[in-house]
Structure 1
Amino acid sequence: MKQIPLITFFVASIFLFSCQSTPKNNTTVEKKDSLTTTTAAKDSSEVNNYNENTVELVKLRLTTMLRDDLSKNIVSEASRKFILFEYDLNEDGKKEIFVGLTGPYFCGSGGCTFLLLDHEGQQITKFTVTDYPVLVAGTNTKGWKDLILSSGGKNHLMKFNGSTYPSNPTVQPVFEGIPGNDLLKFPGTVNGDFPWVNF
């Protein structure tokens, strides 16, 4: 009679151990699915949605644009990297490409340079003296989303003029108020979901 409870305890222990092992594996699957879901959500909201073709397009654009300085080794390794953000600013179904730059070649005490390219890699605007993040405003001008750029500790409203945005935010109107947390930011944080890519 004493052996039955011992056998029952042994069988129950095996069952309990196998139940505990299963959630660990399921947790891994759930985390994996959760990451996939998060990525899908970002894709559907057009946040940080870019692919290797875009990366290669930007690399080509930068190496072409900087050909002379790269050949003279003027662009240091610290400056030879960028981050990307794609978003359809004019709702034509083609995403524009924000290219964030860094390092002493592109940045100074006033901020950094970043580029806005069209979907084919052609330059729309080269912004200067800009601090991160860049915000996409909820308003439009001439069919393009307004941008809010920070420079000199102030936010400036940048409006499309029909062919480009102004390049220097410091000479544009100060954005009154505090930008809402619901606005798209590029990048959300400097070390966030935007990996730096070397070129």
Structure 2
Amino acid sequence: MRNLIIFSCLTILLTTSCQQSDQNNAETTETTADTVIQAPERVQLRYGEADTAQIAQWLTNSILKDDLDFLKSEQRNYQLDAYDLDNDGNLEYFVGFTNDYFCGSGGCTYYLLGHDGEVISLFSVSRAPFYILESKTNGWHDLVINSNSGMRKLSYDGASYPENPSVLPAFEDSTSHSDAVAILKDAKSYSF
């Protein structure tokens, strides 16, 4: 009888937990390997139309200046998102390219630009979305990026983030990061 009561209580507890979990659909969960990262649904855009025009100018006049002759018109698109990674009051811009000129079998090329157009980091072999963690290294938020079929944690070294996340060890922190911010998730595309 006692076992029946315990079993009944556990069944009720599990049923109640599952129902509450279904009601919390305001969060999105990305799972790769053994890593679970929960991120809130994408918030409103953190940048404006003037930012997109400025970034297109930076891409054309400096960052991709040497590539322009090789790019087809359909390859001159980028995805954009922004976040203040170092809490200095200025946005840093995540610029992603997801076409055959910038992508290979392991992932695509992404740039992290400062508010002044300076290239802070170039990420190769990467796939969006990226996740911004609450943790910081050298005053900048740590990032988690999907690279070469695994999640990788990138920490700022004082000058940039690592360029090729695929060579980093797999990020196997199975704790839930409910405060992680998803970047480049369902990002808008722009042309330059």
- In the superposition, the TM-score normalised over structure 1's length comes to 0.70
Which residue does the alignment assign to 1:198?
191
> How far 1:177 sits from its partner (Å)?
2.9
The one-character-per-residue Cα deviations of 1:130-185 (angstroms, maximum 9, x if unpaired) are: 01111111210000000001111111110000011110001223211346354211
Tell which has more relative contact order, 1 or 2 (C-alpha 8 A, sep 6+): 2
Which residue does the alignment assign to 2:153?
157
Which residue does the alignment assign to 1:59?
56
Give the Cα separation in 2 of the matches to 1:76 and 1:94.
33
- Which residue identity is paired with 2:108? C
Q: 1:92 aligns with which of 88, 91, 99?
A: 88
- Which residue identity is paired with 2:66? D
Give the Cα separation in 2 of the matches to 1:68 and 1:163.
24
Give the Cα separation in 2 of the matches to 1:165 and 1:90.
12
Q: Identity of counterpart residues, as a percentage?
A: 36
- Structure 1, unaligned runs of 5 or more: 1-40
Residues 129, 169 of structure 1: 8 Å contact kept: yes
- Which residue identity is paired with 1:183? A
**Superposed, which structure 2 residues align to 1:63-82 within 5 Å?**
63-64=60-61, 65-70=63-68, 72=69, 74-82=70-78
Report the 3-state secondary structure (helix = DSSP H, G, I; strand = E; otherwise coil) of the residue aligned with 2:56.
Answer: helix
Structure with more of its chain in helix, by fraction? 1
- Which residue identity is paired with 1:60? Q
The alignment yields a C-alpha RMSD, in angstroms, of 1.7
Higher Cα radius of gyration: 1
- Which residue identity is paired with 2:53? E
> How far 1:61 sits from its partner (Å)?
1.4
Q: 1:143 aligns with which of 139, 142, 151?
A: 139
Give the Cα separation in 1 of the matches to 2:67 and 2:140.
33
> How far 1:97 sits from its partner (Å)?
0.7
Give the Cα separation in 1 of the matches to 2:161 and 2:113.
11
Which residue does the alignment assign to 1:20?
none
Comparing 56-65 with 173-182, which one deviates more in the overlay? 173-182
Q: 1:186 aligns with which of 157, 172, 183?
A: 183
Where in structure 1 do 4 or more consecutive aligned residues deviate above 4 Å?
Answer: none
Q: 1:109 aligns with which of 105, 119, 131?
A: 105
Structure with more of its chain in strand, by fraction? 2
Give the Cα separation in 2 of the matches to 1:48 and 1:156.
25
Q: 1:170 aligns with which of 150, 166, 169?
A: 166
**Superposed, which structure 2 residues align to 1:22-33 within 5 Å?**
none
- In the superposition, the TM-score normalised over structure 2's length comes to 0.72
Report the 3-state secondary structure (helix = DSSP H, G, I; strand = E; otherwise coil) of the residue aligned with 1:58.
Answer: helix
